[in-house]
Amino acid sequence: MSVLNVSGKSAIALLITMAAVDRFNLLYREISRSCSVYIEALAIVGAWYTVRKCLTLVFNTYSMIRLHALPKLVGEIDIVKRYGRWAVVTGSTDGIGKAYAEELAKRGVNIILISRSKEKLEAVSRSISETYKVETDFIVADFRLFYTYPDYFTNLSEDMLWDMINVNIASANMMVHIVLPGMVEKRKGAIVNVSSASCCQPTPMLTIYGASKAYLDYFSRALYYEYASKGIFVQSLTPFVIATKMVSCSRVTSKRSFFFPSAEEYASHAISTLGLSKRTPGYWKHSIEFTLGERLPEWIWAWFAQYFCRIIRKEALTHKAK
């Protein structure tokens, strides 16, 4: 009896299990049938998203090749023929300004240099004229301003705040307002404004600088559409850190490295993008950084920016205390 009893229980348990499995499969098939429309819709959305991302990657890769590789292979544009024989370069005795002025002079463009030091202006003007056999002139004025080191907004003096606004916004507007009518009359010319990658996303501890550069970037892009039909090309350069005296507060950023090019290296790349892109970091490695930076969530960008700026600030304060 006990053997039959156990066997009977086993048979009953087996039947219950089979029934449960059958019901589950039936339930699954019914759910799948009723949700098939939604599954197909989700598949279409997923396919569309994948294609969109692939096309974006292809377009960005093509843009990088077009901007940074093709000009080196097929030759650069004739700047004098397309935009004119004279160029005005601000902040032209050091860093990017000086390097960009030299790149223009290499291509036969006469240069009007603007900076705050008359002695440096005379020396750079003479050097460019003798080296590249072009005409040069200069005007004494201050068109460049940056933090001594990254700092909190309330630590900045009122003079620093006003200087940042006046130099990076007001002066840039006035300079463009002076030179643009002549370009419109001749129906050719180019305006290159050096903004900053700090305009890519909110950058703590470079708050007023980043905001003023965001204005310059917006101003340049809008101006491009306003005057492109009149033969004027307006470009906004948005570089990341470049190893110049402006970032001498840090031993890391002031030395040339893989992602921190020298001013000369940067200018040689940036000038080849003139006429090809209205907004670009100007340097292929910075283009990769900028593309990634734009796609980061804002809080991640802000966290990394603040972490990096705190390190530079600490290093600058330590050096200052010695």
Q: How far is Cα 234 from Cα 124, in angstroms, rounded to an integer?
A: 26
Instruction: Note whether residue 120 is domain-resident.
Output: no
Q: Tell me, what's the pLDDT at 7?
A: 47
283 versus 41: which is more confidently predicted?
283
Q: What is the CATH number of the domain that holds 236?
A: 3.40.50.720
Per the structure, the complete domain to which residue 317 belongs is given by 66-75+143-321
Instruction: Note whether residue 296 is domain-resident.
Output: yes
Instruction: Note whether residue 198 is domain-resident.
Output: yes
Q: Which residue has the tokens 């000086």?
A: 98
Instruction: Note whether residue 316 is domain-resident.
Output: yes
Is it the case that residue 48 has pLDDT exceeding 50? yes
Whether 209 is a known active-site residue: answer yes
Confidence category of residue 250, pLDDT binned at 50, 70, 90: low
Structure letter (DSSP) for residue 243? B
- In 3D space, the residue among 78, 137, 147, 144 whose CA is nearest the CA of residue 108 turns out to be 78
Question: Phi, psi at residue 91, to the nearest 5°?
Answer: 55, 45
Which range (16-20, 79-83, 182-186, 221-225) has the least confidence? 16-20
Catalytic residue among 209, 224, 227, 266: 209
Element (H, E) at 275: none
Is it the case that residue 75 has pLDDT exceeding 60? yes
Confidence category of residue 243, pLDDT binned at 50, 70, 90: confident
Residue ranges of E strands in the chain = 86-90, 110-115, 136-140, 189-194, 232-237, 279-280
C-alpha torsion 2→4→9→12, nearest 10: -170
What is the tens place of the pLDDT at every residue in 152-184? 999 999 988 998 888 889 988 999 999 999 999
Q: Tell me, what's the pLDDT at 182?
A: 93
Number of domains in the chain: 1
In the structure encoding, which two tokens stand for residue 52, read together?
Answer: 């969109």
Mean pLDDT confidence for 110-119: 90
Mean pLDDT confidence for 267-295: 90
C-alpha torsion 91→92→97→98, nearest 10: -150
Instruction: Note whether residue 92 is domain-resident.
Output: no
Task: Tell which phi-psi region holds residue 75, choosing left (phi > 0), alpha (psi between -120 and 50) or beta.
Answer: left
Confidence category of residue 6, pLDDT binned at 50, 70, 90: very low
What is the tens place of the pLDDT at every residue in 57-69? 787 777 777 777 7
In the structure encoding, which two tokens stand for residue 302, read together?
Answer: 């802000």
Instruction: Note whether residue 173 is domain-resident.
Output: yes
Query: pTM to 2 decimals?
Result: 0.79
Instruction: Note whether residue 23 is domain-resident.
Output: no
- In angstroms, what is the C-alpha Rg of the chain? 30
Asked if 263 and 283 count as a contact pair (C-beta separation under 8 A), the reply is: no
Is it the case that residue 258 has pLDDT exceeding 80? no
